[in-house]
Amino acid sequence: MPIATLMNETQTLAYVQAAAVAAGLLLDAAQAARVATHLQRTAAMAALLEAFPLRDEDEIAEIYRPAPFRQEER
């Protein structure tokens, strides 16, 4: 379930503040608030994508193959 449906704004801000401490990031209150706002917005967009039904044939996975390695010339 997306974060937007699991946490309200206050909870998201608390999560951002705790994650910043755990990661050793120094965020002031305004920065943490902006990160929390963007996290909520991103979660809302992810919820829209998750709600869209896709069939296996809608995503052509074979186009995501790694490029072959170049042969070195000697």
pLDDT in tens, 12-66: 999 999 999 999 999 999 999 999 999 999 988 988 888 888 887 777 776 677 7
Burial 16-55, CB ≥16 within 10 A → b, else e: bbeeeeeeeeebeeeebbebbeebbeebeeeeeeeeeeee
Residue 4 has pLDDT above 60, yes or no: no
Please name the residue that has the structure tokens 């809302």.
44
Q: Which two tokens stand for residue 49?
A: 């994508």
Task: Look up the pTM and report it.
Answer: 0.67
Please state, in angstroms and rounded to a whole number, the distance separating the CA atoms of residues 22 and 28.
Answer: 15
